[in-house]
Amino acid sequence: MFSRFAAMFRQRALDRDLNDELRSHLEMAAEENRKRGMSNEEARRKAMRDFGGVTQVRETVRMREGWPFVENLRRDVLYALRQMRKSPGFAAVVIVTLALGIGANTTVFSIVDAVMLRPLPYAQPERLVEVQSREATAIVGGAVSYPDFFDWRAQNHSFEHLVSYHDGSMTLTGVERPVHLDGQAVSWELLPMLGVGPELGRGFRPEDEKLGARVALISHRLWVSQFGSDPGVVGRTVHLSGETFTVIGVMPAIFRFPVNEPQNDLWVTLAIDNDGTPRANTANRGNHSMSVMGRLKPGVTMAAADAEMKAIAARLTKQYPDTNTRHNSAGVESELTALLGDTRTLLMVILGAVGLVLLIACGNVGNLLLARARERERELAMRSALGANRARIVRQMLVESVALGVAGGVVGCALAFLATPAVLRLIGDSVPRAADAGVNLPVLGFALLVSLVSGVVFGMVPAAMAARGDLLSPLQSGGRGNTGGHHRLGSVVIVGQVALGIVLTTGAALLMTSFVKLAHNDEGFNPDHVLTFQFETPDTKYRHSRPAFYREYFEKLRGVAGSRGGGGIDAATDDG
């Protein structure tokens, strides 16, 4: 086997040695004939006749010393490349047609891979689940209140860790100018649940949830941009929205939580929602404003955890009917499933649509190859007359089509590489985890697979024609081959293309109609010349004076040149 493998890379040297050996053998046989009294010409002719076909012997030796299939495939590939060079215009049309279809599929698959196929960037992500509060008859879950979360955490037996989190955006002061920071207020078990640790310092501890605790973990990006990558930042005090926090750690550059919000700058504990009064968020069972994420214990199924959380929610409803009647149940589902929501269906529909586009492209190329096969009938007939069987000819035509498919795939990957960033800018943050999309190794593998399959699909039409047709009739006087089969196959391909085109056109028309309706939907107000923005009023400074602050703020805003008025909405929620 080793010698056969080595022979693949020494073919020219082996051919020279074989030719020398054959020539030496013939010369010795001719010399023996001359000794018997024959002339030089007669001796050589008899030696050749006795030896047999030199070409056949050479091919037999090659088969014994190498791998015939690999050698024949190499020849087929080289012949396919020569055919592409011989007809560059035809090859260019086929490659560009395929590149558009393969490029569209590769672009969409890169997003599907990042959003749906890639696991969450945490330890054992299959055990991470989302736990939601819901009404027993409702399908869709909702947010959770702090007291309910505390009871869930204390009473469950299904989770290793159960973590609450909600938006905790703050303003960093005490630097050159105030900086708005996107953040999250979380319970202390966040890092143990995710199976990650800080790059510098430590993670949260149970005591960091207690009344008055003010500690923060900062992102690697914030550490670099605002603190100059100073390792001494751990233990330093910073001012966040009017309060003093101690930085206890710096998270790695790749860390993100929540995973669909890659821009978070810091994480603080739920202690910021506790001021020790009965009105604090941590004591308000009616304020459902948090998300809850958990890690299942080994061996615990999602169905078992779901049943347990429903039982706990039912007990809390009986215990607190005033606040929990509308939240008398709970639901547990995979974190990735909860993260994707309806996005999964949308992406699969888009992937199916671009798949139809590729099928149409394959139909176009199939018809082109079928037309070209008519032009090559005499060539194929000549090869058949010289000894090539139908299987050999069919294989050659499939290799040619696959070579074109791979070339189209290479150009399609280049198009996908250019198109993916533009598509990501277009969809923005509307699709979770889409920002991670890119042309990586799995995507290139997908593109290669699509290229090979496409080459086989559109190559089957002329290959089938070659297998079924009469290869010898074109060589006969006036013979033009069997064109009826060509026309039938071409008609079938065209009908398929038209059917797929109608499906795509109908879907595009429906989408465009929906878009127009949404674009002209009556919002109840005129959005022209309306600006929106967010700002924060820390509880420590504005808890009792927030209404007066808003009145003064909007009075001053109305006095700004070019402003006709203003209004505000408090983002806090309380559905109790």
Lowest average pLDDT, out of 179-183, 302-306, 357-361, 383-387, goes to 383-387
Beta strands 329-334 and 291-296, pairing class? unpaired
Which of 246-250, 341-345, 518-522 is predicted most confidently? 246-250
Burial of residue 466 (number of CB atoms within 10 Å: 0-12, 13-18, 19+): buried
Query: In the prediction, which pLDDT does 575 show?
Result: 43
Q: Output the DSSP codes for 86-116.
A: HSHHHHHHHHHHHHHHHHHHHHHHHHHIIII
CA distance 422 to 432: 17
**Integer angstrom CA distances of residue 365 from 99, 399, 476:** 11, 15, 30
For residue 11, name the pLDDT band (cuts at 50, 70, 90).
low
Identify whether 258 is preceded by a cis peptide bond (ω within 30 of 0): yes
| All residues at 6 or more sequence positions from 275 whose CB lies less than 8 Å from its CB, including other chains | 211, 539
For residue 498, name the pLDDT band (cuts at 50, 70, 90).
confident
Q: Is 295 helix (H, G, I), strand (E, B) or coil?
A: strand
Backbone torsions φ then ψ of 556, nearest 5 degrees: -70, -35
Checking if the pLDDT of 62 tops 70, the result is no
Whether the Cβ atoms of residue 216 and residue 247 lie closer than 8 Å to each other: yes
CA distance 97 to 100: 6
**Selection from 391, 413, 401 nearest residue 84 by Cα:** 401
For 185-239, write each residue's pLDDT tens digit.
999 999 999 999 999 999 999 999 998 899 999 999 999 989 989 999 999 999 9
DSSP state, 144? B
End-to-end Cα distance, the chain: 77
Share of the chain above pLDDT 90, in %: 23
CA distance 400 to 73: 11
**Integer angstrom CA distances of residue 194 from 95, 255, 316, 339, 553:** 46, 10, 28, 16, 42
Query: In the prediction, which pLDDT does 576 show?
Result: 38
**Selection from 535, 563, 531, 533 nearest residue 549 by Cα:** 535
Q: Which residue has the higher pLDDT, 358 or 520?
A: 358
| All residues at 6 or more sequence positions from 63 whose CB lies less than 8 Å from its CB, including other chains | none
Query: In the prediction, which pLDDT does 6 show?
Result: 60
For 176-188, write each residue's pLDDT tens digit.
788 888 899 999 9
Beta strands 183-186 and 266-269, pairing class? parallel
Q: Which residue has the higher pLDDT, 230 or 547?
A: 230
Average pLDDT, the chain: 81
